[in-house]
Amino acid sequence: MEKLKATLRDSARMRWSMMLLVSFLMAANYYFYDALSPLKSILQEHLHFSSQDYGIVAGFYAFPNTFLLMAILGGIILDKMGIRPTGLLFAVFMLIGAFFTAYGATEYFNNGGLGYAFLNSFWTGYSPGLKMMALGMLIFGLGAETSIVVISKILVKWFKGYEIALAFAINLGIARIGTALAFNLSPRLVMPDFWTFPIWFAVMLLLIGFLSFLIYTMFDVKIDRQFQSQASLMDAEEKFKLSDLGKLFTNRSFIFITLLCVTFYAAVFPFLKYAPDFFYHKFGISRAASGDIASLLPYGTVLFTPLFGWFVDKKGRSATLMIYGSLMLVMVHLLFALTTFNPYVLMVLLGIAFSLVPAAMWPSVAKIVPEHRIGTAYGTMFSVQNLGLFAIPILAGYILDVTNPGVNSEAIEAGANLVYTPTMLMFVGFGIIGFIFALLLKWDDKTSGYGLELPSNTHVDSEG
């Protein structure tokens, strides 16, 4: 790291300021992703969606990263082209997708507005509003996941050798404030004559996040000039090559941490998509209060993720924390599925589980994978993760429809309740699989020598 001395990154104030700037974009990203969750019943009321229709809109976020491998391609583009062009390009995709999603819900569009006739000309079993919102979420997801990859590389760039686990943890905590606020604000921003306002508000936050990233790019230019050029940071043989992608898939530790990522997140993010509706139907809680309970998870991570990140920096034990978090996730979902235990307490416990695993997992990648491959590594993880984010919301909606025959939007308006037990047991299954991969990761770390159980500032050469 000799060439990195006496640069902006050596100033703690500058490091943390950069983290805050890019974290706002990530928080706006998370806010938009979850802004529809507390509105599921309202979408069913105004747009006549079924549970599976809602799952399609939620799941299409992950379509480009699952089937087009855009997060992997975005990671490769990031490693080849750099942070600024990649970040700006995919932030624009987020804005465009968010606009289309909000537009697809509007009364103007659904009464025959621009694009309605075209979308009504094919796949007539699905409404034009559903197709426009799904298209919007697809474009949003194309930008959102690669934007997170870009931010992850920014954190490695500024914090490697410093407080990297704590930086990742605080970044995640700020991002999840976006999720929490989405659950709190979306149901409260609904207006009788403007029920789509919560979605447009989320679009506005994304625009502000984009402007904050523009400010960051000015500092990124300056630090690159201090490095004298991005190429000077690495020898020729250390530059990214397409063959490096193959090296990732022959690295057992990277495979295990990637599979843990997809199964763990498959049991959390899709659950959050349905959580307010789950509390509304199982516990008879109002829509606003249901959103408040769901928000306890992201609010809890704001406190616990930095705490566990600090622990990883100082004490290590990353692989062990991932095991504990995966096991706690399984126990909480089992209690949700089979009991009426206090949902407030269970969401706090789920928040702890959702802090343990990410706080340990994301900085661990920087130990497993060399820095010149880090964008591709994170992109690969996000693409595989998106397989779960695409399929699981749709599968959850399908299970809800099949196990609740006759409970359609009209029946719900009349007071009928959905039974969520089979859907919750599905989430339990993914949690168990994630727990197994966490065990395998710790076992492999004993022979790989990456030092996942060591503190973050412990230097271990990674050949991944």
Buried b / exposed e along 413-423 (16+ C-beta atoms within 10 A): eeeeebebeeb
CA distance 405 to 396: 14
CA distance 291 to 243: 46
- 3-class secondary structure, 214: helix
Q: Which string of DSSP letters, residue by residue, matches 355-404?
A: HHHHHHHHHHHHHHS-GGGHHHHHHHHHHHHHHHHHHHHHHHHHHHHHHS
* Ranges of H-type helices in 111-196: 116-119, 128-159, 164-189
CATH assignment of 2-448, among 1.20.1250.20, 3.40.50.2300, 1.10.357.10, 1.10.3470.10: 1.20.1250.20
DSSP state, 36?
Answer: T
CA distance 443 to 8: 39
The one-letter amino acid code at 107 reads E
Domain coordinates of the chain in residue numbers? 2-448
Q: What pLDDT does 458 receive?
A: 61
How many CB atoms are located within 10 Å of the residue 10 CB?
13
CA distance 184 to 32: 13
Q: What pLDDT does 409 receive?
A: 62
* Non-local CB neighbours of 295 within 8 Å, separated by 6+ positions: 179, 180, 181, 183, 184
Residue 452: which of 263, 257, 304 has the closest Cα? Answer: 257
DSSP state, 123?
Answer: -
CA atoms within 13 A on the CB side of 244: 24
CA 327 to chain centre: 20
Distances (CA, A) of 362 to 63, 148, 168, 194, 278: 23, 12, 7, 40, 29
pLDDT in tens, the chain (464 residues): 344 456 777 788 888 999 999 999 999 999 998 888 888 878 888 888 887 888 888 888 877 776 777 777 887 888 788 888 888 999 999 999 999 999 998 888 988 889 989 988 888 888 898 999 999 999 998 888 889 889 988 998 888 777 888 898 899 889 888 988 888 888 888 888 888 899 999 999 999 999 999 999 999 888 877 765 444 444 444 455 556 667 777 889 999 999 999 999 999 988 988 888 888 888 888 877 888 888 888 888 888 888 998 898 888 889 999 999 999 999 999 999 999 899 999 999 999 999 999 889 988 888 888 877 788 888 888 888 877 777 888 898 889 888 888 766 666 665 667 888 999 999 999 999 999 999 999 999 888 888 888 887 665 544 44
Q: What pLDDT does 235 receive?
A: 42
List the structure tokens of 316. Answer: 């290590």
